Structure 1
Amino acid sequence: MRKGLFLVGLFLLGLCGGVFAQESIKIGALFALSGPAAFIGTPTKLVAEINKEGGIHGRPLKLVLGDTEGDPSKAVGFIYKEKVVAIIGPTRTGTGMAVKPLVEAARVPTIMTVGGDPVIMGGRFGSYRYIFKTPQRSSTAVRKIYGYLRKKGLTKVGLLTATDGFGKDGRKWLEKLAPEYGLTIVAAESFNPRDTDMTTQLAKIWRRRPQVIVAWTIGPAGAIIAKNVKQLGLPVPLFQCHGLPDPKYIELAGPAAEGNLMPSTKLMAWEQLPDSDPQKPVIAHFVHLYREVYHYDREFPINTHSGYAWDAVMILARALKKVGPDRERVREAIENLRGYVGISGVYRFTPEDHNGLDESSMIIVKIKNGRWILEDY
């Protein structure tokens, strides 16, 4: 992973050194470049297109890298060390919540790439005036799953959720929204994301005879659940969350991944989209750059996370081009952005909604013969 960090740094130096005469605009890149979340954070540093087209009114964007190593305490210090106009990242809900009060106090526009909802929720979760996020809300992903289940006539649901911040956020929405879709939660179990076996929890769930099992976690734990479901021979569909559409999941789960379902950004099955979808040409261009121009796919195959930071950088660039590198004006410009066609959806931010995506930005994918197949329902 350190090799990946070196290559990213070399790439950015090549972009920003000796090409522009004017001073660069610094934005913080707060990602896990090592540690347990490395495969999420590392392949998201693509700013070449912006600088290739002249940067921001002749000034290049410069990413100041802050390696959180998936540890919130390492992210906290980054805010005070670098004078950046805005911040992109972090990737983990727990890290995001640790950073949240600090960027709010410092009034630094921050576009996070976390899956959980609390970073852009107020009330007991604190202010989110300066915080936005590009991945779909957990609640949006839950609605996508539940809409599918309702149309398929599956009404009895078993839940298996992680005990971390992301897992708890998912469970909250899974339980809260079930009645709205005419669904019944017949069993709900939890596990530590570091656990290496969830057969005990799955056996308890199966005693209640659910028609479908919904798991909510990211990282290797998802693949372990898939293997355990296959090991137990449970004859019901397994739904994973929107954080797991990733070649790594198929690699780790092996044959147990076959038939698994999950909500996803359109990136994972973009070639199967109708030509009328406004995102299709945007995603095609991104995939071309990622694979054929910068060859990131050789080390970090495209996954649903790959587009989140790209969208964050592009959204920030639009704001900077409109109002310049003034933090408060940048925040306001992002909040009023409507109709940006990105990799992960068509964004329509409002003062109340700092995510700007609904269920139409997602698809349901099924793993078939090791490929992501767009599930038609």
Structure 2
Amino acid sequence: MPYSPIRDSFSRPYLKQKGWTRVGFLSVNNAYGDSGKSEFVKTAQSYGIQIVASERFGATDTDMKPQLTSVKNASPDALVVWAIPPAASLVLKGYHELGLNTPIFFSSGAGSNKFVELAGTDAAEGVYQPQSKIWVIDQLLDSDPQKKVLQSYAQSYKSKYNIDASPIDGMAYDATLLIIEALKTIKGEVTRDSLRDAIEHLNGVVGITGIFHLSPQDHVGLTDKDLTMLQFRNGRWVIAQ
């Protein structure tokens, strides 16, 4: 996948800007959740953000209220949840059942349309996610270098599958795009090594997740500038203020 946990974390100090420096952290108990927490801790420390409570839950759990209650008791300024649907949506369900109103953030692993479908639009109101721009194309400036690519992709996806595109499926598109662009640069026999070398020298490839600049030292090719903080408002995702 194009993301690494450090890109998923709030590398830009959005929490700090809001003054939300005491964070409750909930994560799924697998490699995704554990690596997310590890990288979040490193990033948070750089900005004076403190994790005041941390809880884990199973990917197949159906009730996360015990973990949410424990985090609630620490009185955090904000909650960060590192999980994918359906678990992410169930955390949000428990959040409302407990009457919580603390600002709540979900990692970009929740960047599927299923997240809101499973939680419900009312439950998702106010939720934050750092994401790519596919959900907010109409809010982008015409000068944005990704806008035309995003528009074309979203239209094609909708036409093919009769559902709206999402950040998660955009990752698969980007993976294929990078391979195709790399193949164009190979002269001679295509081998595993030549394909790797070609991918490692791609620069300025405009994708769905961001604009890729790869190197032998950077196999992600994205930075925090390729993420946009979004918030769910009135039944749709908008660029957070």
Work out whether the TM-score is over 0.5.
Answer: yes
Partner in structure 1 of residue 218 of structure 2:
353
Partner in structure 2 of residue 243 of structure 1:
109
| SS of residue paired to 1:178 | helix
Q: How does 1:258-337 map to 2 (within 5 A)?
A: 258-292=125-159, 295-296=160-161, 298=162, 300-323=163-186, 325-337=190-202
How far apart in 1 are the matches of 2:171 and 2:71? 33
Alignment RMSD (CA, Å): 1.3
TM-score scaled to structure 1, two decimals?
Answer: 0.61
Partner in structure 2 of residue 342 of structure 1:
207
How far apart in 1 are the matches of 2:91 and 2:126? 14
Partner in structure 1 of residue 9 of structure 2:
142
How far apart in 1 are the matches of 2:175 and 2:41? 30
TM-superposed CA distance for 1:305, in Å, is 1.0
TM-superposed CA distance for 1:375, in Å, is 1.0
Partner in structure 1 of residue 96 of structure 2:
230
Q: How does 1:20-39 map to 2 (within 5 A)?
A: none
Partner in structure 1 of residue 239 of structure 2:
374
Deviations 1:36-93 (A, max 9, x none): xxxxxxxxxxxxxxxxxxxxxxxxxxxxxxxxxxxxxxxxxxxxxxxxxxxxxxxxxx
Partner in structure 1 of residue 47 of structure 2:
181
TM-superposed CA distance for 1:172, in Å, is 0.6
Answer yes or no: is the 8 Å Cα contact 1:245–1:268 preserved in 2: no
| SS of residue paired to 2:220 | coil
| SS of residue paired to 1:336 | coil
Of the three residues 214, 224, 245, the one matched with 2:80 is: 214
How far apart in 1 are the matches of 2:112 and 2:172? 16
Deviations 1:125-163 (A, max 9, x none): xxxxxxxxx2x221112134x611011111100000111
Does 221-230 or 146-155 show the bigger shift? 146-155
The one-letter code matched in structure 2 to 1:361 is D
TM-superposed CA distance for 1:235, in Å, is 2.1
| SS of residue paired to 1:243 | helix
Greater relative contact order structure (CA < 8 Å, 6+ sep)? 2
The one-letter code matched in structure 2 to 1:366 is Q
Runs of 4+ with deviation above 3 angstroms: none
How far apart in 2 are the matches of 1:143 and 1:239? 10
Deviations 1:93-147 (A, max 9, x none): xxxxxxxxxxxxxxxxxxxx2xxxxxxxxxxxxxxxxxxxx2x221112134x61
| SS of residue paired to 2:27 | strand
Of the three residues 143, 150, 160, the one matched with 2:26 is: 160
Does 264-273 or 188-197 show the bigger shift? 264-273
The one-letter code matched in structure 1 to 2:78 is V
How far apart in 1 are the matches of 2:84 and 2:6? 16
TM-superposed CA distance for 1:245, in Å, is 2.4
| SS of residue paired to 1:203 | helix
How far apart in 1 are the matches of 2:198 and 2:112? 32
Number of matched pairs? 238
- How many percent of aligned residue pairs carry the same amino acid? 37
| SS of residue paired to 2:108 | coil
Unaligned runs of 5+ in 2: none
